[in-house]
Every structure is written in C-alpha cells, then in structure tokens.
Amino acid sequence: MSCTICRLPFVLDPRSPTECIDIISSPIPEHVLPQGTLTKHQYAYFATGIYIGTRIRGLVRKMVFIASNVTTRHRMETKTAFQWETSGGTLFMMHVTCADFLRLVFDAKDTNAKSLARVCQIEEVVGKVQGGANAGWLPLVRYEAVGEKVDLAPFWSHQSDSPSMGSNVFDWTRLKTSKYKWLLNRPDAFPKFAAEVDAKRLPWGNDFEVGEGDMLSHRPLELLCLLLPYLPPRSYTMLASTSRLFRYHALTIFQPHARDLVIALRWAIPTQREYEIASEDVRSIMASEDAKLSPVEGDWFGYLSKVHRSKGMRVRRWILSVCEEVKRVYDERLPGSPYAMTPGGGRTDIAQKLEEKVGMMLRTLPE
C-alpha cells in the first residue's frame, strides 16, 4: 500500500489481526520491513493511514495495513477488512500528515457534510486513484515536478506476474542509502518554540557601531519596518546576519515579522488536529498562530531558523507542495466536470447529491 499524496508506503501493523477479522491473504515476504530500517517512532508513523471517501462507512477513517492488499480500521474492532486495490483502482489512503495537509489546502478541516464532500469530490474531479504499476497514485498529478522534485517511482516494483493485486513492493533499503533518505524523518515532530528570547542570544556590549559603508543601518528604523514585508524568509534571515544591530532588532522589535513569516509558510506550525492531540507538556513548547498560546514577542526568529534546518520540517514542506499540486489539477479540471458551479453560481445536482450522501453517512456514525 502506498500513500496517495507522498507515494511512500505503509508498513504492516505490528499487531496481529483479531480472529474476528476475516482476511483472505497473508503478507508477502517483500512487504515485511527489513529489521532496523525504521526506528520505533518512524514505524508507528508509517503504519497509520487515513482513508477519505464514501466507499467505506465513516468518510474519514484511520486505517492500518494488515496483509497483502488488506486494510482495516485502526482499532481492529470490527469484523470487516477491505481490499486496498481492486479492478477499479485503490482506496484513497494517506499518511496522517498528508491527510491533514490535503484537508488544509482544500479548506476542508471541519467535520461537516460540506467540508468532507469537498475532499470526497477530489477523485471525481481529478480521477480515480490508479492501480497496477501506479497503484495508489492520482492521475495527472506531477509528483516529481514540485517542491523538492522527489521521484519515488524508481523505488517501487510492480509484480506483473503476480495474480493478486496490491503486490507492489517498495525498496526501503535503497531509499535509506539514496539522496532521498531524509524522507524517513517524521513530519509531525516539531522544533521547540520558546515563549521568550533567551537573553544569551541577544548581542550585547558597545559593539553596535554602524560602519560608514553600512547604508541600511543608517536609515531610519521606520523605513526598515516598511521594507520587511517584501522580504521572503531567506532574504530576511540574511539581512539579520549583516550586523549585530540587525540581529538585535530581529530578536526584539522585529519578532512580529518573523511570526508572520512562520505562519505564512503553513507547514511550519502544527495543524489544529496535531495541536489538539498533543499532551499538555508538548503543547507548551509548540508554536501556534493563536497569540494566546504562542506570544507575539516569543522567539519566532529562532523558530524560523529551526524549521528550515529540521529534516522533519523538510518532509513537511515537501508534502504541502504535493497537496498544492493536487489542488492545481483539481482547479484546472473542475470547470469541465459535473461538479463545476452552475452559471448562476449554484451547485449542480450531482454535487448536491454527493453532499447529501456525505451528510447521511455522518448522521449514521456513532457519537
């Protein structure tokens, strides 16, 4: 099984399926991860998937991979197992962070009929998730052309002589020794955010003299404040390193600008779900766009630097770029699809019926 967004695989759930779950196949040897490939925490991340769609009751379901081409709900509390790949393609399955970002990009974070119908509509507009050699991947999406331009297709091998579906195999060992080995880092592990600037980081002493050739430092502070919104993160951090005076400003009065830069990245702070599921201790060191939780005068400049040096945040940035590519394809195809807005600005019958179906499924879910 592979993630429809990042195209990285799922690993087998380490728990044994209960006897009440009826499965018709066992994992093939190639689906068993080589010992020592992942840490315990990495394994836990790759073992959990999120299904989105109307084919399985629940619309948005946490799932696990338990056998070749077989998935079931995360708690393994039901008797039902599902085939991941069928003749019509595969289920729309994603790793947890990938699902979070997809819903973020499609403005579908809420759990209501309108929001969930929007993500269920993706397959109807972009195209069904493919099977075969491209099992698990959406058509038309240029996975290898966005963000870090990661091409994972060469790491997958399709067992064309296998009579069973879902038998594609991922080469974990090759990935671990390749230039893409950074993809093994968990994208849900965040750098620590400091609610206040450590005094030791502030320049001090009588060394703030401005040299004659320092044209910017001679300018009024108000003028520099007007310049800041036009600087992307890299340019801003480079500017802050040009002098101790600029560094002092970056760590003090310019912190609100660093905060704006962090929030604008979208990938650099936890999603609402990630923040809510974190323990109280973890939340206390997480960055949040809510000023009541993460003060504006906190060390946002330091956090901006940390997220650009973190390997896990690098994965996170790449995942967001793929989700934005899915949205690009969706936006291009939507006007010619049955789900396009009507000339009067309303929804088509088929779009309304999908939302009604999603709403009905939501109402039948247990509290």
Least confident of 117-126, 160-169, 201-210, 250-259: 201-210
Please indicate, yes or no, if residue 18 is contained in any of the structural domains. no
In a domain, 89, yes or no: yes
Residue 25 reports pLDDT greater than 60: no
Residue 3 falls within a domain, yes or no?
no
Residues 144 and 262 in one domain: no
Same domain, 335 and 304: no
Question: What pLDDT, on the 0 to 100 scale, is given for residue 58?
Answer: 62
Q: How many domains does the chain have?
A: 2
Q: In this structure, are 229 and 118 located in the same domain?
A: no
Mean pLDDT across 152-165: 80
Q: Among the ranges 10-19, 114-123, 158-167, which has the highest mean pLDDT value? A: 114-123
Integer Cα distance of 108 and 61 in angstroms: 15
Same domain, 127 and 50: yes
Return the pLDDT at 239. Answer: 84
CA proximity to 272, closest of 100, 70, 64, 44: 100
Q: Quote the pTM value.
A: 0.90
pLDDT number for residue 20: 45
Report yes or no on 257 lying in a domain. yes
Q: Which of the pair, 52 or 304, is modelled with greater confidence?
A: 304
First to last CA, the chain: 30
SS3 89: strand
Let me know if residue 124 belongs to a domain. yes
Give domain status of residue 192, yes or no: no
Let me know whether 241 and 334 are in one domain: no
Asked if residue 183 belongs to a domain, the reply is no
pLDDT single digits (tens) 107-129: 998 888 999 999 999 999 999 99
Q: The domain containing residue 161 runs over which residues?
A: 29-178+316-363
User: What average pLDDT does the chain have?
Assistant: 88
41 and 128, same domain (yes or no): yes
| Chain segment 299-342, per-residue pLDDT in tens | 999 999 999 999 999 999 999 999 999 999 999 999 999 999 88
Looking at the structure, do residues 226 and 167 belong to the same domain, yes or no? no
pLDDT at 161 over 70: no
> For residue 28, what pLDDT is reported?
74
Asked if residue 67 belongs to a domain, the reply is yes
- Among 309, 332, 349, the domain-final residue is 309
- Whether residue 260 sits in one domain with residue 205: yes
Residues 347 and 290 in one domain: no
Give the pLDDT confidence of 285-297 residue by residue, as tens digits.
999 999 999 999 9
Q: What are 307-311's contacts with CB under 8 Å, separation 24+? A: 307/191, 307/262, 307/265, 307/268, 308/233, 308/237, 310/190, 310/191, 311/182, 311/185
Q: For residue 266, which amino acid is it?
A: R
- Nearest of 225, 283, 7 to residue 135 by alpha carbon: 7
Domain match, 214 and 238 both? yes
